Amino acid sequence: MSEKVSAFLLVYMGLFPIINPIGGAPIFLGLTRHCTDEQRHSLARRVAINGFFLMLGSLIVGSHVLEFFGITLPIVHIAGGLVVTAFGWKLLQAGPEGVDSHEVATTGRPPGPQDAFYPFTLPLTVGPGAISVAIALGTQRPRAANL
């Protein structure tokens, strides 16, 4: 197997379970239930583009940021695991009321294109756990591939 294929599979297998697009789809549909299909598709496209660039930036620049601040990779592993655990525990303890009703009640409007980055991209689709995995994967890439 070539190096590019194995690198792709490593990144895919590392990030897919953390980002979990299959599990996030019902949450996205629930949060956008007041939107038309066209608005929902446009918002999903913006979230996908934002998420791609956020993950790419974390993958490429994250290792340099860690090196600059003197943070080691085991610390990132532990912190990322704690963040994923805390988020999972928070989801398990969540009540039956939805985020959508709270957002519509506080802002007076359903989610729209201005919400594509926050809250849809950054905590819901690409959260701290996915960013820490991307940074960890970025530190393991060969030095010849560093930009």
pLDDT, tens only, 100-137: 444 444 455 667 667 778 888 888 889 888 888 888 88
Low-confidence ranges of the chain (pLDDT < 50): 98-106, 145-147
Contacts 24+ apart (CB under 8 A), 124-127: 124/24, 124/27, 124/28, 124/31, 125/19, 125/21, 125/24, 125/47, 125/51, 126/19, 126/50, 126/51, 126/54, 126/55, 127/18, 127/83, 127/87
Distance CA(54)–CA(117), nearest Å, equals 10
Work out how many domains the chain is built from and give that number: 1
Q: What is the pTM of this model?
A: 0.72
Range of the domain at 120: 3-143
Q: Report pLDDT for 2.
A: 86
